[in-house]
Amino acid sequence: MIELADIEKVFIILGISRPIPCRFIGKSKDRYIFEPLKVDFTQYKNGSKIVNVKDFKVSDFEIEGKKVLIIK
């Protein structure tokens, strides 16, 4: 089981894309819910679309002291 704190700031990597700064919002059933943020980890003015992730791996390395999640 992967432990993430509420409102924890993380980076998500999908394939060969650049790391996307996100905030962990919570868990619903078998899905983890994230909100994409700006590069400086602030919210967009009108918010952003919520990202539901079912399966990911926590990487061994960190970026700027934040966890890196790799989407499978």
Q: What is the mean pLDDT of each run of 10 residues along the chain (72 residues)?
A: 85 92 92 94 89 92 93 87
Q: Give first-to-last CA distance, the chain, whole Å.
A: 16
Q: Looking at residue 1, what is its pLDDT?
A: 59
Tokens of 49: 């679309």
Nearest CA among 52, 58, 60, 5 for reference residue 31? 52
What is the reported pLDDT for 6? 87
Q: pTM of this prediction?
A: 0.87
Q: What are phi and psi of 63, to 5 degrees?
A: -120, 125
Cβ distance 9 to 22 under 8 Å? yes
**What is the pLDDT at residue 72?**
82
CB atoms within 10 A of CB 2: 10
